[in-house]
């Protein structure tokens, strides 16, 4: 039985009791009063047991909630540390990638300059060689023409001087 119901019945018993004149006392039915008290003795321990069980459950639930909260906070900290660490790793990787890209562009530029210099040197040597061969070809042509013109008697010293002048230019 509910303890509050028993208290209400006790209050009703007092309210229906006969007042003693000139006092604040009332006369109540002794049997009914003792019956209510016996019922309260039975009900109170049951109510106390329920209250104690509720307190134990409350403490257990609070402990579980605190443990879960601690676990959640720990997981959140670990995840945030991982994110920060991952973010710093990503940033470091980006910086390193930019350095590598800059080095590659610098190497490409240097290789291009070296290749251009090599081509210039090679073409310059080829030009000199071609000029030398061209002069030899012209001299050969002139020599052949002179042999053909010997019959007409040109001055041979003039052609030789011209050939030496052309060779010295190279």
In this prediction, residue 167 carries a pLDDT of: 58
* pLDDT on residue 159: 57
Residues 6+ apart with CB under 8 A from 29: 13, 17
Q: What is the pTM of this model?
A: 0.36
What letter does residue 152 receive in the DSSP assignment?
A: T
DSSP 16-52: TSEEPTTSS-EE--HHHHHHHHHHHHHHHHHHHHHHH
pLDDT given for residue 89 in this prediction: 82
Confidence at residue 160, expressed as pLDDT on a 0 to 100 scale: 58
Q: What is the pLDDT of residue 38?
A: 86
Residue 157's pLDDT is 58
Q: How far apart are CA 140 and CA 4, in angstroms?
A: 139
How do the pLDDT tens digits run along the chain, 170 residues long? 577 888 888 889 888 889 889 998 889 888 998 998 888 888 777 777 888 888 888 888 988 988 998 999 999 888 888 877 777 888 888 889 999 999 999 999 999 999 999 999 999 999 999 999 999 999 999 988 888 887 565 555 555 555 556 655 55
């Amino acid at each position: 039985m509910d303890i509050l119901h028993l208290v209400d019945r006790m209050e009703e018993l007092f309210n229906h009791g006969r007042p003693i004149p000139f006092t604040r006392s009332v006369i109540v039915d002794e049997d009914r009063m003792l019956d209510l008290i016996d019922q309260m003795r039975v009900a109170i321990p049951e109510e106390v047991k329920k209250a104690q069980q509720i307190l134990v459950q409350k403490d257990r639930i609070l402990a579980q909630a605190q443990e879960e909260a601690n676990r959640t906070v720990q997981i959140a900290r670990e995840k945030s540390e991982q994110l920060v660490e991952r973010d710093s790793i990503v940033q470091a990787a980006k910086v390193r990638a930019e350095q590598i890209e800059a080095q590659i562009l610098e190497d490409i530029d240097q290789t291009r300059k070296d290749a251009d210099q090599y081509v210039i040197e090679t073409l310059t040597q080829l030009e000199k060689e071609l000029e030398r061969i061209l002069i030899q070809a012209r001299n050969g042509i002139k020599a052949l023409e002179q042999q053909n013109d010997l019959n007409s008697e040109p001055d041979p010293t003039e052609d030789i001087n011209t050939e030496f002048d052309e060779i010295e230019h190279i």
